[in-house]
Structure 1
Amino acid sequence: MITALRPVTRTVTYTRWLHLVMAAVLAMVFAFVVPGLGNVNSPAGAWLLVVPLPFLAAAAMVPGVRLSEGMQAQLLLFPAGENTPEPDFTPARSASWADRRRTAVWLIVRYEAGVVTAFLSVHVPALVINLIGSASGSDAVRTPLWTPGPGHWSYALLGLLVPVLFLAFVVFAGEALARAARALLGPSAAQRLAALEERTERLLEHNRLARELHDSVGHALTVAVLQAGAARAAGSPEFTDKALAAIEETGRHALEDLDRVLKILREDASGTAAGRPALTDVERLLTAARGSGTEVAAEVSGALEALPGPVSREGYRIAQEALTNVVRHAGPVRVSLRIAVRADVLELDIRNPLPGPAGSAVRGGGSGLRGIRERAALLGGHAETGVHEGAWRVRVVLPLGV
């Protein structure tokens, strides 16, 4: 019994009722302007459901109408403080012809439901009075719904039942209109898919930035620690000056990367590629590695400037991670770095002697090697890591058609 009476005590029942009845204002205007439409007792009154429709469709072509309707729906169909599902749309102006078409459908649905609700809201009370009056033997007043004759006492029970049925209709119509608002005033299926794809791309970008920051800061810290240790062991003021200069330069580049990544994350956007190091800056990596005592023999063939931006930037990070692994796990050994730009692929080949058993190099790779393989796979390429001809090799091939 309490559950059945709950709609009577809920604010949302009456706000949705108001939202429905407000749509009938246009019908009142046409009823006054067009002769005959206001007579709901005649067939001409049925045209009131049809005549305004072209005007509603024309109004839907105005972008601001969708914004206005969305704000009304959010305020009255989903009032704050009620135990109703939140609307999954944000009021906005029409941005496309598809939005305008869906707005036109919404206006027509709201108008038709509103006219019927307003009609019943006006004439149901008169019907109830007639039914109760007929049960007591009084003469009934003619109404568009039904004009009962002198009736039985059961008319009084029917008079009590009609308001209950009308309330049920209002609740049902309000819920149906709320569902229509979500479907017609909210984003379309294509827009929802685009928003989901955008969110996915943003999350992927954040993951990429986190991996990039790990590579950059990890490289800087590795170089700084090894430089400091080598300077202390060497006991040479000249070597110490060089080590401090290398630490300063590496740390400065890492801070630049950190500032750029944090700025992008604060803006919550994909960000721009400007400022990100690329293979044309590979000399920076070589200087840092050589400063830690590692002897690097570099061979570059082809035009690095002609590489596509994504390939060049990811190629830099791959080379950075490979050299960092060498410095961290193999120590000051001789490293060969070969960068070859061909017609359709970029090839990176980094080799260094094994510091001990082959397995130690493999175990030392950790997440760095996994990150190299992931970067290569994202660009449609592949990475090979492992022992090759008595040395540890990282070989990456990236296609240029990205």
Structure 2
Amino acid sequence: MIIPTRLLGRTARLRWVHLVLGGAALMPYFLLGAVIVGAVTGGANVYGSLPLQLAAFACALPIAAVSALFPIARPLSVAAARALCGVDPAALADGPAGSRAARVRTAGWFTLHIGLGGVISGMTLALPPFAVALIALPFFAALRDSRLGMPVFDGWTVLLAAPVGLASLLALVCCAAGCGALLARWAPRLLGPTPADRLAAAEQRAAELAVRNRLARELHDSVGHALSAVTLQASAARRVFDRDPAFVREALAAIEETTRRTVGELDAVLGLLRQGDDEVAGGAGPGLTGLDGLLSRTGLKVSYTADGDLAAVPELVSREAYRIVQEGLSNALRHGGAAPVALRIAVDGEGVEIVMENPLSGTAPVVRPGGGRGLLGIAERAALLGGRAQAGPKDGVWRLTARFPVGGAR
């Protein structure tokens, strides 16, 4: 059963169709080759001479190879190979051929396809009628008339006609299966991704990953900070609910304002998902000049000192610095509770420096399920800006420092 399946199974039949399509694609080039051969031979009848037909076939192949150098040829060839050749779709490249090596490989594949396809198509058209006539020859005397163009069979040679006809059909099937298998073997090599394609795909994946990481940091910093602030305000209000209604009203107002602002930031961040990479890289967002509003809603007592012109910091650097401060405040809530925070931001000709300190509460910090990624996000933001960040307990206080150049955003 293995041999019949390889010769006449579904994969073999699809490959046969693929070869016939290659023969059909050959025809325009063959006609052009016939015109060239006819002109060279002084107007000889190309279609009436087998040597001239072979010459036209030989002229057609290089013309086809040149036409396949266009980038669009690879997607068309890949689509046909994936559907009909029975090869692993992942082994073939996507998109037009962008490099010289890819175009040369595609031209080689196209030439091989239409060359083998032309031979198999010609055999498919010619052999079956001839083989059927040979098989029927012993039973119909009229077929043995030489005027029909059949070979002359008489005597015992008539008995050989049927086996020769069957052998012709078997030869056709074997040739089609063999050529189809040859194309399937060469498809990954000629239509597969080149080193340039792999590099472009890796760069695209890296760009997509950078965008996803940026959006994750934005969501973490904005929503995470808001939830930490809301948790602190709600906890404080619950403890003094019966004793200080005025404070409770202030806490609820702060919670309302924080959640409203966070919903707006969340909409802005999610809006980045509908924009291109360039827009994501330069999307608008809160910056250092908006820190006063952040500090007033955080629920902490913050001693804030600013040295230098914060408005002169470039937008991207200012936005990333704002997020670092925001995450630092969220971290202070977890490690220091309601302890006061000292924040200093210095801007000079060399860069921006952020220093944040708060006393440790002495109790275990609030840990979110699955752990947090705030400090890692701060380090990533600082690294993207060409600087560095450090955070940790030191001499009874939690200290966060970050420094990066003003023009160092990458």
TM-score tier after normalising by the smaller chain length? 0.7 to 0.9
Q: Which residue of 1 aligns with 2:24?
A: 22
Change (3 A) 1:61 1:319: same
For the pair 1:275 / 2:284, whether they are aligned, the reply is: yes
Where structure 2 has 5 or more consecutive residues not aligned to the other structure, the ranges are 39-43
Is the contact made by 1:91 and 1:185 (CA closer than 8 Å) also made in structure 2? no
For the pair 1:166 / 2:172, whether they are aligned, the reply is: yes
Q: Which residue of 2 aligns with 1:382?
A: 388
Change (3 A) 1:314 1:7: farther
1:212-235 CA-partner distances (Å, limit 9, x unpaired): 312211211221232234345275
Instruction: Give, in angstroms, the shift of residue 13 of structure 1.
Output: 3.8
2:398 to 366, 385, 392: 392
Letter in 2 for 1:298: Y
Q: Which residue of 1 aligns with 2:310?
A: 304
In the alignment, the residues of structure 2 paired with residue 124 and residue 140 of structure 1 have an alpha-carbon distance, to the nearest angstrom, of 20
For the pair 1:38 / 2:47, whether they are aligned, the reply is: yes
In the alignment, the residues of structure 1 paired with residue 400 and residue 366 of structure 2 have an alpha-carbon distance, to the nearest angstrom, of 11
Instruction: Give, in angstroms, the shift of residue 375 of structure 1.
Output: 3.5
Where structure 1 has 5 or more consecutive residues not aligned to the other structure, the ranges are none
In the alignment, the residues of structure 2 paired with residue 362 and residue 218 of structure 1 have an alpha-carbon distance, to the nearest angstrom, of 13
Q: Which residue of 1 aligns with 2:41?
A: none
In the alignment, the residues of structure 1 paired with residue 190 and residue 152 of structure 2 have an alpha-carbon distance, to the nearest angstrom, of 39
Q: Which residue of 2 aligns with 1:118?
A: 121
Instruction: Give, in angstroms, the shift of residue 61 of structure 1.
Output: 6.4
Q: Which residue of 2 aligns with 1:227?
A: 233
For the pair 1:4 / 2:19, whether they are aligned, the reply is: no
Instruction: Give, in angstroms, the shift of residue 335 of structure 1.
Output: 1.3
Letter in 1 for 2:176: V
Is the contact made by 1:87 and 1:182 (CA closer than 8 Å) also made in structure 2? no
**Which one is further off, 276-285 or 176-185?**
176-185
1:284 to 285, 293, 316: 293
Instruction: Give, in angstroms, the shift of residue 155 of structure 1.
Output: 8.6
Change (3 A) 1:64 1:225: closer
**Which one is further off, 86-95 or 116-125?**
86-95
**Which one is further off, 155-164 or 254-263?**
155-164
Change (3 A) 1:148 1:173: farther
Letter in 1 for 2:229: V
In the alignment, the residues of structure 2 paired with residue 96 and residue 313 of structure 1 have an alpha-carbon distance, to the nearest angstrom, of 39
Q: Which residue of 1 aligns with 2:267?
A: 259
Is the contact made by 1:299 and 1:338 (CA closer than 8 Å) also made in structure 2? yes
Instruction: Give, in angstroms, the shift of residue 296 of structure 1.
Output: 1.2
In the alignment, the residues of structure 1 paired with residue 130 and residue 33 of structure 2 have an alpha-carbon distance, to the nearest angstrom, of 22
1:190 to 189, 192, 196: 196
For the pair 1:177 / 2:177, whether they are aligned, the reply is: no
**Which one is further off, 20-29 or 89-98?**
89-98
Q: Which residue of 2 aligns with 1:347?
A: 353
**Which one is further off, 99-108 or 85-94?**
85-94
For the pair 1:108 / 2:116, whether they are aligned, the reply is: no
What aligned pairs does 1:68-107 form with structure 2 within 5 A after superposition?
73=81, 77=84, 85-86=88-89, 103-107=106-110
Q: Higher RCO, 1 or 2 (CA under 8 Å, sep at least 6)?
A: 2
Change (3 A) 1:95 1:374: closer
SS at match of 2:47: coil
Is the contact made by 1:344 and 1:399 (CA closer than 8 Å) also made in structure 2? yes
Q: Which residue of 1 aligns with 2:207?
A: 201
**Which one is further off, 339-348 or 181-190?**
181-190
In the alignment, the residues of structure 1 paired with residue 175 and residue 276 of structure 2 have an alpha-carbon distance, to the nearest angstrom, of 46
Is the contact made by 2:26 and 2:60 (CA closer than 8 Å) also made in structure 1? no
In the alignment, the residues of structure 2 paired with residue 179 and residue 277 of structure 1 have an alpha-carbon distance, to the nearest angstrom, of 56
